[in-house]
Structure 1
Amino acid sequence: MPTHDGLVDWDSPASWDAATAVETIARLAEQGKADVPVYSIGADRRVATRPFEVTGSPLFVAEGIFAAEIVEECRRRGLLAGAYALRRPRGTTFLRRLTRDLAEQRKAPKVLIRRGVALLRAEPAVLRRQTGLGAEAARAREILRRVAGMVAGHPHRSS
């Protein structure tokens, strides 16, 4: 696992298994179900898998900081309806991340604040990277409108 300041760097794409993510998305798209990993940020590792189903859904959303890393491959395999990088005020992202991480006790508060400030500063570069990998920058309301339009225009899967 990649490290930063002596800690596992969960914000690095190298901490993620992109090939397995694409295969899981393919299984979900084709079969409607797959086992997905469960990570423990506090323990710095994957701790289990759990079944996940989207059977009957016309679309599903795969989200996360590394989603843009697999846009090209998902597009190539015909698995992609849309790819978006959420654009919101950096302060909002910082506060939401910090609130979540403190509530989940992911790390010591001092570590979470220090890392949160670093991510706050890096956010414009992260957005540029995600759009460079094929995601379109958009605000949450616009993304929700587009996804709703895709769902409305899709026949309902019954498998």
Structure 2
Amino acid sequence: MSIHPPSPARVVLLCGPSGSGKSLVAALSGLPVLRLDDFYKEGEDPTLPLVDGSADIDWDHPLSWDADVAVAAITRLCATGSTPVPVYDISRSARTGEDTLDIGRTPLFVAEGIFAAEIVERCRELGVLADALCLTRGPLTTFRRRFLRDLKEGRKSVPFLLRRGWRLMRTERVIVTRQVALGAHPCGRDEALSRLAAAGAGRETAQEAAA
């Protein structure tokens, strides 16, 4: 009797505005999770973008994030079930070490972060995309959740968090529109969990049907 090697794993990309509940949905899914925020560039990187008219680094701009390294980690996980990942300290804007994410033979995992939509097309072309979801909860809700979370975790100074929060609240609809245009399906928590369960059970999603 021949023994067939396990099929490569696939990824569900989970994006949405900062504070929309991505980490919670990823945890509730019960699937292994790759934290895409760990692929931020470091604070001394000269290619980091600035907020227009300000000296603040724009950590919500895709250029503040290393998409190439993130995609390499995703494809390695899909092919081998294991990959090295940076350990990133947001409060210090620096990588503080390296860890290993091992998903074993799990056929599906979640990669979550505010820039996940930026790599939807690349993952689709590489044949590793199971679904792409954009969580939406409304600007006021995400503003409150984001500020309380970032304050509790000491991610940045209070003035910075307030400036960033106000800016993101005003542009949230633009952010969601962009992520949807990049290929992510807009949904709330319950629908996201339902689609994650469907992907985990091997049922075809609308993303795959449209591919």
Question: Structure 1 length as normaliser, TM-score?
Answer: 0.91
Q: Secondary structure at the match of 1:72?
A: helix
Match of 1:2 among 25, 49, 65: 49
1:92 is aligned, of 132, 135, 141, to 141
CA distance in 1, matches of 2:114, 2:63: 12
1:115 and 2:164 equivalent? Answer: yes
2:178 corresponds to 1:129: yes
Secondary structure class of the residue paired with 1:81: strand
| Equivalent residue number for residue 140 of structure 1 | 189
Per the TM alignment, residue 44 of structure 1 is displaced from its structure 2 partner at its CA by 2.1
Give the partner amino acid of 2:128.
Answer: L
Matched residue, 1:47: 96
| Structure 2, gaps ≥5 residues long | 1-47, 204-211
CA offsets 1:90-140 (integer angstroms, 9 cap, x no match): 212111111111011111112111211110111100001101111111111
Counterpart of 1:157? none
Gaps spanning 5+ residues in structure 1: where?
155-159
* Partner residue in 2 for 1:72: 121
Between stretches 115-124 and 3-12, larger displacement belongs to: 3-12
1:47-88: CA deviation from partner (whole Å, max 9, x where unpaired): 322111111212100011100000000000011000011111
Residue identity over aligned pairs, in percent, reads 47
Q: Tell me if 1:13 matches 2:65.
A: no
Greater per-residue helix proportion: 1
Alignment partner, residue 27 of structure 2: none
Residue-pair matches, total: 154
Cα RMSD (Å): 1.3
How far apart, CA to CA, are the structure 2 residues paired with 1:41 and 1:3? 17
- Tell me how far 1:25 sits from its aligned partner: 0.2
Cα contact 1:8–1:44 (8 A) shared by 2: no
Alpha carbons 2:118, 2:182 under 8 Å: kept: yes
Could you tell me which amino acid in structure 2 is paired with residue 2 of structure 1?
P
| Cα distance between partner residues in 1 of 2:107 and 2:179 | 25
